[in-house]
Chain A
Amino acid sequence: MGTLSGAMSIIVGSLDADQGAISVTTNNLANANTPGYDRQIAQFNENTPIVEGNLVFGTGVTLEQAQTVRSNVLQLQLNQETQQTGQLGSFLSGMDQVQSLFNETSGTGLQTPLSAFFSSLQQLSTNPSDSSLRTGVITAAQNLATAFNQSSSALTTQQSNLNLSVQQSVSQINSLTGQVAQLNNQISGMTKDGEDPSALVEQRDSALNSLSNLIGTSVISGDDGNITVTTGNGSPLIVGDQSYALETQTNAATGMQDVYSQGQDITSQISGGQLGGQIQVRDQQIPSVLNQLDTLASSISNAVNAQSEAGYDANGNPGTALFSTPPAGVTGSAASMSVVISDPSLVAASSDGTSGSNGNANALAAIANQPIADGETPADYYSGTVFQIGNAVSNATAEQTAAQQVTQQLQNQIGALSGVSLDEEAANLTQFEQAYDASARVVTMISDMMTEAINLGQD
């Protein structure tokens, strides 16, 4: 039955709904520049009508909810890409230092001291009695040893820096997993109580994205809006309201910090995120380059020493080693390489015991073109190292460019879906305002009508 008071209650409901809608719009406007904010839409629902005989009376409108517009799929994709850009970014910044040590395009690296050493032996062959040329050989040998020492120590320093970064990343990861676990708890609480946890979900998304930047993760949705997060290899990070901290422990053999989850060493299984990139450079790239430097330093030392011992010095005595004997097992050869003679007359240039003979100087110089390092000449072996470093950087750079483009696209898509448009909000605001105006006018009219009804029958 349609009554004036019925109409009044409809119109009051409408005023409430419009006010609510305006408040949703203003909240959108207020958060237009909040990172990670997803816009909300005021969702009106028609109230259940009343049926009387053949008549159906509408009972107005309710603001059902402020519906958040978001796509979990896009968020997951964004997290995946963030893992990749995080990993590539930290990989490249780690490798940048490495490649600059061997930047042959600007003349830094081992090629110059390597060539200079063999040239000094060639020069000595033109006048083996010349003491200044002998001194030249010792100086060039020292420069070569120093170049090996410095490259090796710069790599080791870079490795320790990355080791420190690994520890920092792990502590950042732990703080984020703690946050996510707490948000999980709050979200499931609100969901159980039938409340809208959107604002917290956005915070959790943002924390998850930061986490993805640090480490590769898998996310599984659970009951009551909970999520379970594991590392890429399945070690738990967050389950419900519980977070599982990663730990670091010093590896006795390498001196580096290994990453442990629940007492298990997962260092080599970590991929993705900054931590993945840092571990990749620290545990794979740098050790590989160091090992190649050691091989080269040890091959040169051994070959030069053996040839020196086959000749004679300027005093007619059997030749002695020019370089220190590399450690057994090669490791550490580049770091420990040094020249062990300082008296120029001890350079074993002679092949017959006279100081004027250059036979052994020629033989020493010829080492430059002999396959002494893993079946390659020293220069060829070194150029392989240069290629390997360059190739790692070049591949990662290409992948990073691609990943950045994908990330940008995903952000555009997320923005297109969830971003706040000022035009749209202006239109909505106007629409709700007009509806509110109309309803308010109706209130006045009904109120007039009621007055008329009360005064019915009076003169």
Chain B
Amino acid sequence: MSIRVDPNLSSELIAGLDLNQQSVNVDLEELSTGKDVNSLGDNPSAAASLVGNQTQSAQVDQFLSNISSVQGLLQVGDSTMSSVVNLMSQAISLGVEGANGTLSASDRQSIASQMSGIMQQMVGLANTTYQGNYIFAGTNDQTPAFTLDASAPDGVTYNGNTDVNNVQLSTGQTMAVNVPGSQIFQNSSGDVFGALNQMITALQSGTGVAAANTALENAFNAVNSQRVFYGNGGAELDTAQSFLNQENVELTQQQTDLVGADMGAVASDYSQAQVQQQALLAASGKILGQPTLFDYLPT
């Protein structure tokens, strides 16, 4: 006796059609999302790595946003410092003029009052704000950094502190984003306000103008060297920015490697599954419609 086969073909045909429909559905989902991992179960380790990838990617985006915020701050600082340096040059020229022994007392008084104007402008520059914050007040940035104070030795009071804020630019890299005003304008190697105040007094009294001029020169040099911070800061930000942009490209590539579908392969799978489905349906139609022996029995 020959081997008997399962006479009921329909259950197997239905199972085959189901299986084929499943693979059509998977292909369609991959085509529509562009990913070959669409649920955690599709590829647990890729899904877990994706969490790390996206966390890193969000951090990189945030670092880039940090950088653009700091860029604005440093630009304002840099241009203010440039004005400070110009103003100091003007003060030095005026001081040289005032040192001229042929000047009359009224001439000196007029120069002294010009110098007072410079002093006021300098306080104005030292109280520059960015987004409502006094950028030369240390971290006490809600009150003006300096106020004119005739009783103080250098003519001003510093209201800020000596604290410095650091902002993170990338993992493990932070950068100071401010220089306290006391360090810029009241530096021990050259006190801007002190020198200006000294010059005003010297011009008013007519004595010590030369010494005051030397003090102004020293203050000019000191403030000029502080400017370097703002100039270099910009370059450091640019470097960090291009590094982060590169990292972003790599993270995106990594993400595609993790969960992205090979669209060509999926499309070809899809059309193959469709062909297979057609073939299965055609075969099913034929098999299920096949006659049995009963059809041939004499009636």
Contacts and interface: CB of A to CB of B under 8 A. Distances in A.
A394 B49 contact: no
Nearest to A100: B39
Contacts, number: 196
Given A105-B50, A354-B140, A356-B139, A394 B167 contact: no
Contacts of A114: 55
Given A119-B61, A125-B168, A415 B7 contact: yes
Nearest to B66: A126
Contacts of B161: 352, 354
Given A99-B40, A105-B259, A426-B293, A390 B48 contact: yes
A104 B51 contact: yes
A123 B66 contact: yes
A358 interface: yes
B47 A387 contact: yes
A408 B10 CA distance: 12
Nearest to B171: A369
A312 to B, nearest CB: 11
B297 interface: yes
Contacts of B58: 112, 115-116, 119
Interface string B166-207: 111001001001000000000000000000000000000000
A126 B69 contact: yes
A123 B49 contact: no
Contacts of B259: 105
A129 B5 contact: no
Contact of A104 (B4, B54, B140): B54
A102 B140 contact: no
B139 A427 contact: no
A383 B52 contact: yes
Chain A interface helix/strand/loop/mixed: helix
B139 A111 contact: no
Contacts of B8: 415, 419-420
A99 B7 contact: no
B21 interface: no
B165 interface: yes
Interface string B44-69: 11011111101100110111011001
Contacts of B294: 422, 426
A411 B11 contact: yes
Given A350-B139, A390-B48, A129 B41 contact: no
A393 B41 contact: yes
Nearest to A102: B40
B14 to A, nearest CB: 10
A416 interface: yes
B133 interface: yes
B247 interface: no
Contacts of A350: 139
B15 interface: yes
Nearest to B48: A387
Nearest to A365: B168
A412 B7 contact: no
B132 interface: yes
A129 B48 contact: no
**Which of B137, B259, B293 has the most chain A CB atoms inside 10 A of its CB?**
B293
Contacts of A415: 6-8, 11
A421 B6 CA distance: 8
A202 interface: no
Interface in A371-395: 379-380, 382-384, 386-394
Contacts of A104: 40, 47, 50-51, 54
Contacts of A130: 131-132
A122 B63 contact: yes
A386 B40 contact: yes
Given A380-B52, A390-B47, A356 B142 contact: yes
Contacts of B76: none
A355 interface: yes
B163 interface: yes
Contacts of A99: 39-41
Interface in A412-443: 412-417, 419-424, 426-427, 430
B292 A127 contact: no
A397 interface: yes
Contacts of B109: none
A103 interface: yes
B70 interface: yes
Contacts of A355: 141-142
Given A383-B49, A423-B292, 19 more contacts: A99-B40, A100-B39, A112-B54, A114-B55, A122-B65, A123-B69, A125-B167, A129-B132, A356-B138, A358-B139, A362-B167, A387-B47, A387-B48, A390-B39, A390-B47, A394-B42, A408-B11, A416-B6, A420-B8
5 contacts: A105-B47, A354-B141, A386-B51, A391-B44, A393-B44
Interface of A: 95, 99-100, 102-106, 109, 111-112, 114-116, 118-119, 122-123, 125-130, 350, 352, 354-359, 362, 365, 368-369, 379-380, 382-384, 386-394, 397, 408, 411-417, 419-424, 426-427, 430
